[in-house]
Amino acid sequence: MSTMLVTGGAGFIGANFVRLTIERGAADHVVVLDKLTYAGRRDNLAGLDASAVEFVEGDVCDAGLVSSLVARADTVVHFAAESHNDNSLRDPSPFIHTNILGTYTLLEAVRAHDRYLHHISTDEVFGDLGPGDPRFTETTAYAPSSPYSASKASSDHLVRAWVRSFGVRATISNCSNNYGPYQHIEKFIPRQITNILDRRTPKLYGTGEQIRDWIHVDDHNDAVLAILSRGRSGETYNIGSDGEATNRTVIELICDLMGAEGYEHVADRPGHDQRYAMDASKLRTELGWSPRYTGDLRAGLADTIAWYRDNEAWWRPIKDAVEAGYAKRGQ
Ligand code: NAD
Ligand code: DAU
């Protein structure tokens, strides 16, 4: 019987990953380790068979707990992180704790127990691009801009060092911006969808000319499963689905799909990265992966809007507090 340990499995991408893993039969048993910070919710895993998915509340920096869970697993997939750039600009400390110390703690456990680790990372480690620059590849130099992306870059470096120095078996994936069900409403797309559902005006930072490379969360997780089954230890894989769009285009698409009137320009993010774009050729050619929602942001957004419309009880209780936090910063 195969057991997979998933850290951060009660968050947005992690919870969708656990659901996909069970649906595909990619593991017989999944153990989720999650601290249940403001971003993690036990009910993101609701409806899953309790005999297949075991939940452990705890910190990925707790070495004793992590060691005991890694010992029981064949494979470890590491999603746990502080994930929001805006929060990292207000208080970097939890980003340093979880993203750097947490990855170190996990690496020491997989080293001690000789287990395979897949580390989930982000395109932001590469910094940002100008409009005509070639897309990020696996060999692009790291140049992170925010405390969040610097902490993720640090965690990637730790994984590579443990592979090279200690022979740890590990892979890394760097993915572009995700969207889909269960994404916290502090993030761009669900914030605008719930603004419209709540009769608030959508909020665009600055001019809205920044470009993000959007991928549906199921395509990200499908790529992770491909890496787990066919990836080569020690390798890094970029994940993206050719979804580049300006923030203005995305907000206008959401308004159009939801029949909303307009949006408002608000204070920009300090140090705002201009453009992210992923070249995922290696994943496509070496592992034969391809995304389901490729080039079809409209279809993916329509599904996502329907999810937030149908799951108002999931986001409604936190909406006022999230917006009050943004309002304090003129956003
Ligand atoms: P999220 O904030 O929705 O979820 C993070 C989860 O980690 C939460 O359940 C939280 O409770 C848990 N967590 C936080 N600190 C912890 C700790 N110390 N110990 C145990 N659990 C802890 O984040 P997400 O958007 O689902 O991102 C998941 C991973 O994917 C992160 O590593 C992130 O850097 C990476 N990533 C995200 C995106 C994106 O667009 N969201 C893109 C590429 C990579
Ligand atoms: O690129 C991958 C990264 O994508 C992940 O590593 C991060 O965990 C994830 O949060 C995301 O980072 P971004 O900072 O790109 O995502 P966010 O949803 O915060 O913002 C997307 C863009 O939209 C960004 O240019 C800022 C802008 N924005 C954001 C919000 C919340 C707005 O214009 N209005 C908003 O209200």
- Distance, in Å, from the CA atom of 144 to the CA atom of 150, rounded to the nearest integer, reads 5
In order of start, what are the domains of the chain with their CATH numbers?
3-178+215-239 (3.40.50.720)
DSSP one-letter string for 144-156? --SHHHHHHHHHH
Pocket of ligand 1 (CB under 6 A): 7-8, 10-14, 33-37, 39-40, 59-61, 79-83, 98, 102, 120, 122, 152, 175, 177-178, 184
Q: What residues are annotated to the active site?
A: 123-124, 148
The answer to whether the CB of 277 falls within 8 A of the CB of 310 is no
Residue 135: band (very low, low, confident or very high) from pLDDT cuts 50, 70, 90: very high
The tokens describing 11, both together, are 């968050």
Q: How far is the CA of 185 from the centre of ligand 2 (A)?
A: 11
Distances (CA, A) of 302 to 190, 240, 258, 308: 12, 20, 9, 10
Q: How far is the CA of 12 from the centre of ligand 1 (A)?
A: 7
Residue 99 has pLDDT above 70, yes or no: yes
Q: Which ligand is nearest to the CA of 246?
A: 2
Distances (CA, A) of 201 to 84, 101, 102, 260, 317: 22, 39, 38, 9, 19
The tens digit of pLDDT for each residue in 23-57 reads: 999 999 999 999 999 999 999 999 999 999 999 99
Residue 331 has pLDDT above 90, yes or no: yes
Q: What angle do CA 273, 277, 281 make, to 5 degrees?
A: 155
- Distance, in Å, from the CA atom of 309 to the CA atom of 261, rounded to the nearest integer, reads 18
Nearest atom, ligand 2, residue 250 CA: 23
Q: Which ligand is nearest to the CA of 219?
A: 1
- Distance, in Å, from the CA atom of 54 to the CA atom of 75, rounded to the nearest integer, reads 15
- pLDDT at position 37 is 98
Q: How far is the CA of 122 from the centre of ligand 1 (A)?
A: 11
Average pLDDT score over residue span 218-247? 97
- Distance, in Å, from the CA atom of 213 to the CA atom of 246, rounded to the nearest integer, reads 9
